[in-house]
A and B are shown apart, each in its own frame.
Chain A
C-alpha cells in the first residue's frame, strides 16, 4: 500500500498501521475509509437530526 494511503488511513482511523495489518485488512480498510469520507462529506447537512431506530422511521413512513 502506498505511503499516501497510509497517511490518509491515519487521518481517518487515528493511528499508524503496520504493513502486516494493512495486508491482513486488505481492501476492507480502504472501503471503510471511503465510507468515512462520504460520511464527512454529509456532516454539514445533518443539522439537528438525532439517531432513530429504523422501526420508528418505517412506521412513520406508513402513516
Chain B
C-alpha cells in the first residue's frame, strides 16, 4: 500500500492519532518507511542493517493487536531503529567494526526489549563511528553516514546514523549512546533533539561499551515531546544493570505537556568562558537570539564561571581511553588488526596508563565533580552551545577536530547530569545549529519541560531536509 510520504515527518503522537482514527495501520506505515530507507540508503548510509522481515512481522503483530481492541502503548506500531551497538537477538550487532562484524547476539539489550514490549517496530540497526569512538562517524567499517541537510557533510558522531535517519524522516525516533558528545553533537549537526539522561537513569544492559562509567543511552527524535515519549520507555531501574538507580520515574510526557509558556522564577546559568568562544562564523548571533527567547519568557539569565571545565574534559579523556582499552582487551589480543586505525590507536594509548594513574583519575573526578556540581547548584539549568564546530565537508574531517567538538559536552558525561540538544537555528550554509540545556541530576522532567518551552516559541523543529 502506498502512502503520502509527508507522514514521515509527523510526530509520534500524530502518527498514533491517525492510526487510531483508522487512516492507516502499522503495516502500511512500516512499508512506507522502509521504502524511504531503501531510497536514501545509498546517499545517506544511515543503516548498517535493514531488518525488513522483522519489521514487517512486528508490524503485522501490532496491527493484529490493534484490531483486537487490546490497549496499546503510545509507541505501538511506531517505526524506530537502534544504534548498532545495542544487542538484538538473532540480528548481527557490529559496533561498526570488523572486529565484531559477525556477532549475532542471543539476547536483546534491555532497551530493545522495552521497545519491543511497547509495540514499537524495529526497522534496523543504525550506523555509527567504529566502537562509538570518533566525532564524525566516518570511521565506521561500513562507510560513514552522510548529513541529510547536505550529503557532502558529516553527521557528527558517534550516533551519526541515528541522527541522519531521524532528521531524514526514515524513522520516528532512534536510540543513541553518548560518552563524550555522541547523542548531542550529531543531534545538533542534523537538526534534531537528542537527550543524554542522568547517569543511572537508563539501563545499558546489552549495549556495547566505549567507557563503562561515561556511556549513557538516550533518545533521539525530531521533537521534545517525542523525546519524552521514548525516555518514558527507557527510564527506570534494571537489575541487569547495576549502574541504574532505583528512583521513581517521573511522567516525562505530562511534564512536557504542562510546560509553562512563562519561565518566571527560573534561574539559568550562562557559562560564557570557554563555551561561547571559538564558535563557527555566524553562530554567535544564533545563540544570542536563543538566550533572548528564554529571557523574553521571564527566565533570569546569569553569566557565571563553571569551574574546572577543562580539567573535567581531561579527566574524561583519560577515563575513555583506559575503559575503552579494558572493554576491547580480549578482542584486541586475538587480532588487533581487525580494528580500524582510530579505534586501535585509542585502545593502544589506553593501555599505556598505569593502575596508579587510573585510580588518581577517579579520585580527581570525584573532587572536581563535587566542586563543579556545587557551583551549578543555584541554577535550574545551564545554557550553552552544544558544540562550537559545524558539520564540515566529509573531505575536511580530521581526528584533530574531536577535541574542540567535545569541548562543551564531555564534562557533563563526567558529571553525569542530564543534557539535551535542541535545534536553535541554521547557519549561512543552511546547516542546523544546536543549543544545549543542562539540567539537574534525575530531573529530566524539568529539563524536557524547559526545552519544550523554548521549542514552542521557535520554528526550527518544523524544518526538514529535502531528500
Chain A residues proximal to chain B, CB less than 8 Å: 13-14, 24-29, 31-32, 34-36, 38-39, 42-43, 45-46, 49-55, 57-59, 61-62
> What sequence of 0s and 1s flags, for each residue 360-371 of chain B, a beta carbon within 8 Å of any chain A beta carbon?
111111110110
> How large, as a class, is the contact surface on chain B?
35 or more
A56 CB, min distance to chain B CBs, angstroms: 9
User: Does any Cβ of A come within 8 Å of B243's Cβ?
Assistant: yes
Chain B residues proximal to chain A, CB less than 8 Å: 198-200, 213, 243, 245, 310-311, 314-315, 317-318, 321, 341, 345-346, 348-349, 352, 354, 357, 359-367, 369-370, 373, 377, 399-400, 403, 414-417, 440-442
Known contacts A27-B400, A42-B364; is-contact A32 B348 (Cβ 8 Å): no
| Set of chain B residues within 8 Å of A52, measured between Cβ atoms | 362, 366
Please determine whether B366 and A57 come into contact, CB atoms closer than 8 angstroms. Answer: yes
A49 CB, min distance to chain B CBs, angstroms: 5
| Set of chain B residues within 8 Å of A26, measured between Cβ atoms | 345, 399-400
Partner of A51, one of B198, B311, B359: B359
Could you give 9 example pairs across A and B, Cβ below 8 Å?
A26-B345, A36-B357, A38-B311, A43-B360, A45-B367, A46-B367, A53-B213, A54-B415, A57-B373
**Given the complex of chains A and B, what is the CA–CA distance between A1 and B332 in angstroms?**
27
**Given the complex of chains A and B, what is the CA–CA distance between A46 and B317 in angstroms?**
19
**Given the complex of chains A and B, what is the CA–CA distance between A52 and B373 in angstroms?**
15
A-B contacts at CB below 8 angstroms, number: 98
Please determine whether B364 and A54 come into contact, CB atoms closer than 8 angstroms. Answer: no
B287 CB, min distance to chain A CBs, angstroms: 27
Please determine whether A29 and B349 come into contact, CB atoms closer than 8 angstroms. Answer: yes
Known contacts A39-B361, A46-B360; is-contact A51 B348 (Cβ 8 Å): no
Please determine whether B416 and A50 come into contact, CB atoms closer than 8 angstroms. Answer: no
Please determine whether B403 and A58 come into contact, CB atoms closer than 8 angstroms. Answer: no
Interface of B is mostly: helix
Please determine whether A59 and B245 come into contact, CB atoms closer than 8 angstroms. Answer: yes
| Interface core residue of A25, A54, A62 (most chain B CB under 10 Å) | A54
**Given the complex of chains A and B, what is the CA–CA distance between A18 and B150 in angstroms?**
41
Please determine whether A55 and B416 come into contact, CB atoms closer than 8 angstroms. Answer: yes
Partner of B318, one of A35, A55, A62: A35
Please determine whether A55 and B200 come into contact, CB atoms closer than 8 angstroms. Answer: yes
**Given the complex of chains A and B, what is the CA–CA distance between A24 and B341 in angstroms?**
8
Smallest Cβ-Cβ distance to B350: which chain A residue: A32
| Set of chain A residues within 8 Å of B357, measured between Cβ atoms | 36, 39
Please determine whether A58 and B317 come into contact, CB atoms closer than 8 angstroms. Answer: no
A39-B318, A59-B441 provided; 17 other pairs, C-beta below 8 A? A13-B352, A27-B399, A28-B346, A35-B314, A35-B317, A38-B310, A39-B315, A39-B361, A39-B364, A42-B311, A46-B363, A46-B364, A51-B359, A51-B366, A53-B243, A54-B200, A62-B441
**Given the complex of chains A and B, what is the CA–CA distance between A39 and B361 in angstroms?**
7
Partner of A54, one of B199, B321, B341, B442: B199
**Given the complex of chains A and B, what is the CA–CA distance between A28 and B403 in angstroms?**
10
| Set of chain A residues within 8 Å of B364, measured between Cβ atoms | 39, 42, 46
Please determine whether B369 and A34 come into contact, CB atoms closer than 8 angstroms. Answer: no
Please determine whether B318 and A58 come into contact, CB atoms closer than 8 angstroms. Answer: no
**Given the complex of chains A and B, what is the CA–CA distance between A45 and B367 in angstroms?**
9
Please determine whether B373 and A61 come into contact, CB atoms closer than 8 angstroms. Answer: yes
A26 CB, min distance to chain B CBs, angstroms: 7
**Given the complex of chains A and B, what is the CA–CA distance between A54 and B360 in angstroms?**
15
Smallest Cβ-Cβ distance to A35: which chain B residue: B314
